[in-house]
Structure 1
Amino acid sequence: MLSQILDNEARERLARISMVKAEKARAVEDLLIRMAQTGQLRGKVNESQLIEILEQINQQQKPETKIVYNRRKFDDDEDEDDFNL
């Protein structure tokens, strides 16, 4: 079905992407198939249109940056007694 949706250059780019990032390629394929089934595509998708779709997916899938601080608690009461002799 993708051969009916994508032109040769776009299909080649998607194949190269799938070698490196299979999940991203699968998401693009699913999106393209849904768009074709709902009639949102007018003709074959070229490489520049595929790049735009990839950019949209990248914006949606950006992972949320999360910083976690693990503070260790030190029990210094006993250690201070050794140094105060």
Structure 2
Amino acid sequence: MADAELEQIRKARLEQLKAQGSGAGAQGGQGGAGGQGQAEQKQQQEAEARQSILNQILHPEAADRLGRIRLVKEQRATDVENRLIMLARTGQLRQKVTEAQLKELLNAVADTKEEEKIVVNRRKVWDDDDDDDLLDL
């Protein structure tokens, strides 16, 4: 059953690559306005292909959790999606990803990301003795 799903994913990816190849040749002879429309259409097709793949490899609970994560941290959700799609394409996923497995993957992504650090360097101000003279009056 998993082999059939992976074969479906591979076929979708092959069709996507074929569409990209034929779209590149047709796009060269058109003006700027037509190119923008095609670019938007291409992005929409890619988004639909990603969503299709994710629907095939995620349990509904896991997909729901990933959607909630996207609301808070879009980049982290995209990173997890990319990793899941890569695992599916390489045949490393044997079954649909559960919510527990998604949590583990999220923790792995969180651990690999280095948190940004804010370093504040304060400059030392030299003490000015002239100000002390005003107090002696």
In the alignment, does 2:70 pair up with 1:18? yes
Superposed CA deviations along residues 14-65 of structure 1, whole A, max 9, x for unmatched, are 1111112111111110110011111111111111000000000111124143
Equivalent residue for 1:39, pick from 91, 95, 116: 91
Structure 1 unpaired stretches of 5+? none
Number of residue pairs the alignment of both structures matches: 85
Q: Match of 1:83?
A: 135
Equivalent residue for 1:63, pick from 115, 126, 134: 115
Partners in 1 of 2:60 and 2:113 — Cα distance? 26
- Amino acid in the other structure paired with 1:54: L
- Amino acid in the other structure paired with 1:8: P
Structure 2 unpaired stretches of 5+? 1-52
Partners in 2 of 1:62 and 1:73 — Cα distance? 33
Q: CA deviation at 1:72?
A: 3.9
Report which structure shows greater RCO (CA 8 Å, sep ≥6): 1
Equivalent residue for 2:82, pick from 17, 30, 54: 30
Partners in 2 of 1:20 and 1:68 — Cα distance? 27
Q: CA deviation at 1:75?
A: 4.0
Query: Hey, which bits of structure 1, 4+ residues long, moved more than 6 A?
Result: none
The CA RMSD measured in Å over matched residues stands at 1.7
TM-score, normalization by structure 2: 0.56
